[in-house]
Chain A
Amino acid sequence: MPFTPPPVDDVLAALTDRFGGIESSVFRGQTRVIVPAEQAFEMLGVLKDHGFDLLVDVTCVDYLEYRDAPMQMPACAGHRYGLVYLLASTTTNQRLTVRVFVDDPEPTVPSVVSLWEAANWLEREVWDLFGIRFEGHPDLRRLVMPEEFTAHPLRKDYPLQGRGERHNFPVITRDHS
């Protein structure tokens, strides 16, 4: 029996009251809303006040050349990066997916560390692997890749085998060890 979260109609109504028309869709009983980047922080704050006290995940998708037809994908609407915020409420068990789309050259969204502490490392990871800048993050350093790494490797235009980084180390031979 698959888990079906409780409906979030009350949340959508509250958002519509506050922000006007909200773009939302439902897939297998799970609701997602699409938020413009400039409203993202405000709306996530409203959602937190509404009872979404648990930030499950922050992640990102690079839609570059996605199925060769990004414009036809309603999910990304022609944008390159789609951030995904997975929210949950520990009291009502409601779940909500929030999508925020950003684009090159400087993909930037406001940080939500001030709302959920859990966002700290999640946003650092997204910054590390996708190069999305989180405005207002207290400590936006790389999380996964080495500090001296210069690229964002989960972007689709980054080659799978890298740009020579994995070969760039001093060679220790028998003679100098």
Chain B
Amino acid sequence: MAVADGAKLQLPENVVVSRLDALASWCRKNSLWPMPFATACCGIELMATGASKHDLARFGAEVFRFSPRQCDLMIVAGRVVMKMLPVLQRIWLQMHEPKWCISMGACASTGGVFDTYAVVQGIDRFIPVDMYVPGCPPRPEQLIQAIIDLQDKIQREGTITGREFDTASRQARKRALVEIVNPMALDASRNPVLQRELAAEAESFVAGS
């Protein structure tokens, strides 16, 4: 309908006006499909959140899927050990854009009390995280609050064409298509053990020749 200058827009009943971006974000935020990456006691609270008493369905996020290809929200609930981290990264890479990540509980966010050789000290060192939930484990209400906050974030940032994801570096070949090689072999400069072994190997090679 054409609107003359200065004229007031007359809308028929049951019609609202919005931006298309806002509409897309509104759809996305109210139909989050979580990928439960539950490794410890936080996973129990995650299940309680989805169950009838706390009823995550009230916020449109009840469709838990165990295939990352169907999900757009990864909830990492529990400690992640270094043997598990490559799996976590692969699952994250297998999820389609747009996607978000919630780090639930002290262990996923910081390693928690498990400050040992085997436990990763916070998943945000290795994958992007949108929301952190404090607690050990957090109560379902806290996780629900994080999902509501994430919904606000999605509503603020989302665009229907995904412009927010459209950066130059994103045009490069997707990491998901590249085989994740042995992570230890990937970067010797950050692994003192490997460095020592390589040095010893080189020494013995020189000594032998």
Contact = CB atoms under 8 A, between A and B. Distances in A.
Interface of A: 145-146, 148-151, 153, 158-177
B168 to A, nearest CB: 9
B191 A165 contact: yes
A170 B183 contact: yes
Contact of B128 (A148, A160, A164, A174): A174
B117 A176 contact: no
Contact of A175 (B115, B119, B120, B170): B170
Contact of B197 (A150, A159, A171, A175): A150
Contacts, number: 98
Contact of A145 (B115, B118, B172, B191): B118
Interface of B: 82-83, 85-86, 89, 92-93, 115-121, 125-128, 165, 167, 169-170, 172, 174-176, 180, 182-187, 190-194, 197
A165 B175 contact: no
Given A148-B184, A175-B167, A177-B93, A153 B190 contact: no
B89 A170 contact: yes
Contacts of B193: 150-151, 163-165
A26 B127 CA distance: 54
A148 B86 CA distance: 12
Contacts of B169: 175-176
8 contacts: A146-B82, A148-B182, A149-B184, A159-B117, A161-B117, A162-B118, A164-B192, A177-B93
B85 A169 contact: yes
Contacts of B175: 172, 176-177
Contact of B86 (A162, A166, A169): A169
A173 B127 CA distance: 6
Contacts of B191: 164-165, 168
Contacts of A176: 169-170, 172, 174-175
